[in-house]
Structure 1
């Protein structure tokens, strides 16, 4: 059997797909791809696997063991496959290529990107029917319906549905202002605040009053204006009534 390593002989052939193997044991393992057989069961959670090696890798989810370490940064990984994926961060290798030429270091990054071209949104919300490109985006959206807020501020205890919202909130405590105006150099806490500020330079007023068509740079200013208009209207009515008394 060992000599087949040198001769390249692969006498065991899969009757389903024609794939060839040097050892009968490897053919038996391969056959499970076609039969769907998963004889190896996790004693912790009941998940089943076609290969014993896959079960061993999975068990580390429960034990927390991470035996594979990155030689560059010391990061520990659960499986050798995860380590190989991580190494690409350091090497810059991007083996997964889209038809448009864009390259990615992870296959799931490529899959997510291809939806830009196909427009496919396979993940649908069971509550409102809204569709999403990725399962991650779908999970985030579901928090709108469940009210779940898993991200907690360590400073004040405020909770958030999205990690990005927590990051923005943290700048309230740290005073960080990463977003800088290219026109005047003003620093803003969030990208949203920077967008609002930019309107000072562009003159853009996207919020218009339905009563007088006056435009405003922010929704807050529009609401303030609408309150003023409402108060003036009430005053006019009261003045008219006073004339009849």
Structure 2
């Protein structure tokens, strides 16, 4: 039951004004409805529930906005690029991307921003600052939105559902990419080398392989990286952080891929079968290596003798033999006589 400490009224030329005060925090409201809505933040009450996923909200308007996730409704359309948004705030933020003036520049990578707060948020990527931490596993994130997405890996929540096939996703971006499978629509961003990408971000990352740009710098050792994700993974070698924990045995890992490979030791699953001999493998890389035993492919060639190998490790060991032979057959500094190799 909602409690109200007092309701005071005062007469004025504009009519009667009502002041409703919250008994818990002292905040004042001009209407009883406003007070009741506010007090739900103290009681935790969420009377408006989504019929699709069961998520609760304190206000009907918030529920209506949330339901657009399921319906795919995006009523706010940009008149300049036709991009649509489900929230008015996101639409307004997007409109600023069309502003010509971007006075705030990142000193690390040169990227420009319309707002100072956008620059500050971006700079956290370079600094590796993690201000927002997961209450379940302790993993840190530079951006609150990324933490919110990460929490869904613990709750298994997948609020974004495909209207065509019913498949669910934890991120709206993943749903959007999935829908392209149904529509057949593909937007290609083409690099000067001819390689094409469906994601503009992937094109920009790829272009750094041409320019040599590595804008993400490790604050511990100064090593630089092409991608923010690569920097984050690398920094764990300094911090010792192992945020990916096996739910079965409790073993922790620095990389999510290593956890996935480890989990197969419990399930005995071999999800990657060979189409030639039906042998199963735990990783795509293991399968690819095995397939070369059937195809005879030896893509790793020795520059000294031309011999080919199926794996880079085999080539590396082979090249060490050439290096040893070179050292053993080199002339002696004192006598100038070649030392015969045994």
What is the TM-score with the length of structure 1 in the denominator? Answer: 0.54
C-alpha separation in 1, matches of 2:67 and 2:202: 21
C-alpha separation in 1, matches of 2:255 and 2:212: 23
Q: Which residue of 1 aligns with 2:174?
A: 33
Distance 1:159 1:93, change over 3 A: same
Match of 2:250 among 81, 84, 101: 101
Match of 1:161 among 277, 297, 310: 310
C-alpha separation in 2, matches of 1:141 and 1:98: 28
1:131 CA displacement? 1.4
> Is the contact between residue 214 and residue 227 of structure 2 (CA under 8 Å) also seen in structure 1?
yes
Distance 1:117 1:22, change over 3 A: farther
1:122 CA displacement? 1.3
1:111 CA displacement? 0.7
- Aligned CA RMSD, in angstroms, stands at 3.6
Distance 1:102 1:147, change over 3 A: same
C-alpha separation in 2, matches of 1:118 and 1:105: 21
Distance 1:119 1:170, change over 3 A: same
Kindly indicate whether residue 79 of structure 2 is the aligned counterpart of residue 13 of structure 1: no
The structure in which a higher percent of residues are strand is 2
Partner of 2:68, secondary structure, is coil
Kindly indicate whether residue 220 of structure 2 is the aligned counterpart of residue 72 of structure 1: yes
Kindly indicate whether residue 257 of structure 2 is the aligned counterpart of residue 90 of structure 1: no
Partner of 2:190, secondary structure, is coil
Tell me which moved more, 103-112 or 161-170: 161-170
Distance 1:155 1:140, change over 3 A: same
Q: Which residue of 2 aligns with 1:145?
A: 294
C-alpha separation in 1, matches of 2:67 and 2:255: 30
Count of residue pairs brought into register by the alignment? 164
Q: Which residue of 1 aligns with 2:285?
A: 136
> Is the contact between residue 196 and residue 203 of structure 2 (CA under 8 Å) also seen in structure 1?
no
Kindly indicate whether residue 89 of structure 2 is the aligned counterpart of residue 23 of structure 1: yes
> Is the contact between residue 190 and residue 203 of structure 2 (CA under 8 Å) also seen in structure 1?
no
Q: Which residue of 2 aligns with 1:219?
A: none
C-alpha separation in 1, matches of 2:259 and 2:91: 34
Distance 1:164 1:57, change over 3 A: closer
1:107 CA displacement? 0.6
Distance 1:56 1:13, change over 3 A: farther
The structure in which a higher percent of residues are helix is 1
Kindly indicate whether residue 328 of structure 2 is the aligned counterpart of residue 172 of structure 1: no
> Is the contact between residue 68 and residue 83 of structure 1 (CA under 8 Å) also seen in structure 2?
yes
What is the TM-score with the length of structure 2 in the denominator? Answer: 0.40
C-alpha separation in 1, matches of 2:271 and 2:92: 35
Distance 1:32 1:126, change over 3 A: same
Structure 2: gaps (5+ residues): 1-58, 72-85, 95-170, 181-185, 326-342
Q: Any idea what the Cα deviations from partners look like across 1:120-176, whole Å, max 9, x if unmatched?
A: 111122222221100010111111122222223344433211223233334434559
